[in-house]
A = this chain, B = another copy of it.
Amino acid sequence: LKISPCDLERMPQRYRAHFINSLTGFKSANLLGTISASGVTNLAMISSAFHLGADPALLGFICRPPSVPRHSLINLRETGFFTLNHCHETIFRQAHQTSARYPRTVSEFAATGLTEEYSDTHPAPYVAESRIKLGLKSLEEITIQRNETVLVIGEIVEVLLPEDTLGEDGHVHIELAESLCVSGLDHYHQTHSLGRLPYAKP
């Protein structure tokens, strides 16, 4: 089946959102944890976190156009720190539920029954139920003019993970921690390892 620019043009908005969101392939499933200056926590499911560099340890994620209220982004600007927490099978329904539009005074932790956890060394809330958790410092926002999305760049400053997932060479076996992936807007998947491949040489 071949979808042309005309076909794309004719797609109704919701259909198009499902279709285009499916095309890049599988995406990471993370809960973004933040806290406002006045101490209200926020939790938001994001599937756009991506690796940006190992040294310094950077990642990026995308926030929608500012016309949509983005409590996480407001909190980030107020406090400068956030967490990313991998989703696994036991919590993915609650994780998905954080995408509902709660008012800013409501914490998605309370609304979905997930538990706040704090490290002595990081101000933003972790998700206690999550197994692989990253503490990050917000470094920069880059506005992508073309569609008014915001790329947030964060530096990983602390990592909490189960000891048995950390391999000898530094590789983290996130499948052992039962981390999930997402396709499209709402489809969740477990993984099954096909193995690691050696460094490729010509």
Contact = CB atoms under 8 A, between A and B. Distances in A.
Interface in A78-98: 84, 86, 89, 92-93, 96-98
Q: What's the dominant secondary structure at chain A's contact region?
A: mixed
A89 B29 contact: no
Contact of A147 (B29, B56, B96): B56
Interface residues of A, number: 106
Residue of A18, A29, A62, A161 ringed by the most chain B CB atoms within 10 A: A18
A118 interface: no
A58 B146 contact: yes
Interface of A: 1-5, 8, 11, 13-30, 47-59, 62, 84, 86, 89, 92-93, 96-102, 106, 111, 119, 121, 132, 134, 139-140, 142, 144, 146-147, 149, 151, 153, 156-163, 166-167, 169-175, 179-181, 183-202
A47 to B, nearest CB: 8
Given A18-B170, A30-B25, A171-B18, A188 B184 contact: no
